[in-house]
Amino acid sequence: MKRVMAVFAHPDDPEFFAGATFARWAAEGAEITFVLATSGDKGSDDPEMTHERLIVIREEEERNAAAALGVKDVVFLRYPDGELMPTLELRRDIARMIRLRKPDIVVTCDPTVFWFGDGYVNHPDHRAIGQATFDAVFPTAGNRLYFIEMERDEGLKAHKVRQLYISGTVSPNKKIDVAGYIDAQIAALRQHKSQIKNMDEMAEWMRKGSRDPESPDDAPRYIESFRVMTFEA
């Protein structure tokens, strides 16, 4: 059975960045864990909202969204939203999750992307979680002498990840056919009621964004693209 760990910054990131791929892998029998560094406690313009209330709302939304994709395991590290940095502490916490769940594949964000097109600045948390995850995958999680206390005190042995899937990248080298899974992705995103104001516009935007520009008009294909790195055993 394929084991997958997705490491992202906020609730709704797994669904937006790679939701259809996760739905496909889950349908194929993969064991998938979502690790969210924050609980999205700053994602509201409601003047009456508090950090504490929003954490409860967004964690519930993410669990429901993950379930819609077929993902049962969701972990929140509960770092403050909007304040992520690729610190040793964050790297250690991600490496711990890798050693616990022993994934074959880790999925995260591209830490080098600062903007998309002419109208969207990439969130600094996305860049930070990407860098921290890269550093956790290599060299940290696979080398027992990094954070040796994990082995000594927690019994967590080093684990080498086989592949790293980088989402939200401008230099992909792999396309995954997700034609049969767009509906599941959109159903998952519909769970994020606190974040998405117009669900129909979101659905249209997701279908448009997932369409393979190289496919013919009379037979459109739907894809999600990644930069995939494969490591030697």
User: Considering only CA atoms, which of 39, 134, 50, 21 is closest in space to residue 78?
Assistant: 39
Pairwise CA distance, residues 54 & 31, whole Å:
28
* Integer CA distances (angstroms), 220 to 53, 140, 207, 225, in order: 42, 42, 11, 16
DSSP string, 137-164: IIIITT-TTTTTHHHHHH-------SEE
Lookup result for tokens 């992909």 = 172
Pairwise CA distance, residues 174 & 144, whole Å:
31
Statement: residue 220 has pLDDT above 90: no
Give me the helix-helix angle, 13-27 and 51-69, nearest 10°.
30
Mean pLDDT of 99-118: 96
Strands 3-8 and 31-38: parallel
Amino acid (one-letter) located at 100? L
Amino acid (one-letter) located at 192? H
**Please, which pLDDT band fits residue 209 given cuts at 50, 70 and 90?**
very high
Mean pLDDT of 4-28: 98
- pLDDT at 218 (0 to 100): 80
Pairwise CA distance, residues 197 & 71, whole Å:
24
Q: Which CATH number fits domain 3-230: 3.50.50.60, 3.90.1150.10, 3.40.50.1820, 3.40.50.10320?
A: 3.40.50.10320
Instruction: Please state the pTM of the whole predicted model.
Output: 0.96
Q: What angle do CA 125, 129, 133 make, to 5 degrees?
A: 175
Q: Could you tell me the residue ranges of all domains in the chain?
A: 3-230
Statement: residue 11 has pLDDT above 80: yes
Q: What is the mean pLDDT of the chain?
A: 96
pLDDT tens across 33-80, in order?
999 999 999 999 999 999 999 999 999 999 999 999 999 999 999 999
- pLDDT at 213 (0 to 100): 87
